[in-house]
Amino acid sequence: MRPDALVTTASCPAILVAAPASGQGKTTATAALARLHARAGRRVRAFKCGPDFLDPMWLELATGQPVHNMDLWMTGETDIRARLHAAAQEADLIIVEGVMGLFDGEPSAADLARRFGLHVLAVIDASAMAGTFGALAFGLQHYRPGLPWAGVLANRVGSERHAQMLLDALPEGDAKAPPCWLGAVMRNPAFTLPERHLGLTVASELPDALARLDAAADALLDTPLGQMDTAALARWSVNFEAPTLGTPVTPPLLAGKTVAVARDAAFCFAYAANVNTLRALGAQVVFFSPLTNEPLPACDAVWLPGGYPELHAETLSDSHASRDSLMAHVEAGRPVWAECGGMMVLFDSIVDTQGQSHAAWGLLPGVVRMQPRLAALGPQKLELPAGELRGHTFHYSRCETALEPVLQTASARGGAAGSGEAVYQRHALRASYFHAWMASSPAAAAALFLPEALT
């Protein structure tokens, strides 16, 4: 859109699926709802609130469409506004999955809902409650004035009698009328989405992943929520404005460059927006799989995204063609950006949670040790001469190395100096636990893939 173009609006039903806390089943509910409407031939566009790699994979499976993240701090209001406006022009329904509890975090999912008028659908795990369900539903709806409200869905319900008790617990008046009571989903292991230490299991690893989503979508058919057609969804329509300043032009700082990106089950934490940013910078993006021992394709720079190298440590130990070609790339002075899991495999070894050591690739000195508990979590930023990269950190391992950091990220929430993530460097190889949202500063992102030093 040109900077001098008139502001336009696009209208579409839009809901934000939230919960009082993590673990309530909101990802399953979001994916089930998306799958239900996609199966009916409706055009569904799904988004994920906050930094996350795993939930978007399930939402993409449910919708058959790319899924992007939305975060008022990390991705920014202009990016969110542009994505919602674009989606509203082509979709019959927009679904945004929340993060943590509805009011948790700064900014929270509730902040996103209020800023853009997204109607909140609260999913509550009611498996161990009856009357308290009404108090939770009432509190979520009224805690913050001006919160657009869709209604409440009871999850993991034990029986029809239990569902009636939950409905009876809602306050008298409008709370019991549609659309506030959106039904009850019975407890059923057939559509449980399995988890591991970083969150949900990757959808592509489960041969029955789509069958699980279909089973969850079928369960919604028995609820008022699942019986809503296009006309009924219209009650949640929102007018989304296009950004008034248009989309900034990305300078072609990587024009003529080829960036090789690791992509397989061990290196799967790559935002689609990051790949799009590299292409907007002028780079040609090619992919390779270290798990299948593919050598680097011809390239000028490499990106090793995060993922699960610890789950594939034995296979990666034997990926000599990938390791040796990457080592030659680094010795030739060509750039590498490795983040989180992509960094872990570069050290001498990875020690798993059972204490077993696995040889890694040895491009950086040190040992990575898996931890039983979360080692770091939260929004982070990396200040570079070319600009500020925003992103986050989320890992269950710790790095033991004699390397001195060349840079340090900072928490978006402030905090003591040195509390961020280290950035290590060897030649033009840069590595950190920091996950960058490259669209936050394309110029700074380009610097990661150029041979010049970052400082």
| H or E segment and range at residue 356 | none
pLDDT at 412: 86
Contact criterion met (CB below 8 Å) for 321 and 327:
no
Per residue in 175-188, pLDDT tens?
454 458 999 999 98
Is 340 designated active site? yes
Per residue in 350-398, pLDDT tens?
999 889 999 999 999 999 999 988 788 899 999 999 999 999 999 889 9
Ramachandran region of residue 368, left (φ > 0), alpha (ψ -120 to 50) or beta? Answer: beta
Q: Is 386 exposed, middle or buried (0-12, 13-18, 19+ CB in 10 A)?
A: middle
With a threshold of 0.85, does the pTM exceed it?
yes
Residue scoring higher pLDDT (373 or 172): 373
Does residue 243 carry a pLDDT above 90? no
- Taken as a whole, the chain contains a residue count of 455
pLDDT at 5: 44
pLDDT at 4: 40
Beta strands in 396-451 (DSSP E): 397-400, 407-408, 410-411, 422-426, 429-432, 435-437
Per residue in 265-296, pLDDT tens?
999 999 999 999 999 999 999 999 999 999 99
Cβ neighbours for 163, distance < 8 A, ≥ 6 positions apart? 154, 157, 183, 184
Same fold, 9-241 and 258-447: yes
Q: What is the CATH number of domain 9-241?
A: 3.40.50.300
pLDDT at 382: 96
Smallest CA-to-CA distance from 152 within 129, 179, 128, 174 is with 179
* pLDDT classification of 2: cutoffs 50, 70, 90: very low
Does residue 59 carry a pLDDT above 60? yes
* pLDDT classification of 1: cutoffs 50, 70, 90: very low
Catalytic residue from among 12, 180, 299, 340: 340
pLDDT at 248: 72
pLDDT at 246: 61
Average predicted confidence (pLDDT) for the chain: 91
Domain edges within the chain: 9-241, 258-447
- Please tell me the CATH superfamily of domain 258-447, with its number: Class I glutamine amidotransferase (GATase) domain (3.40.50.880)
Does residue 195 carry a pLDDT above 90? no
Judged by average pLDDT, the poorest of 85-94, 244-253, 285-294 is 244-253
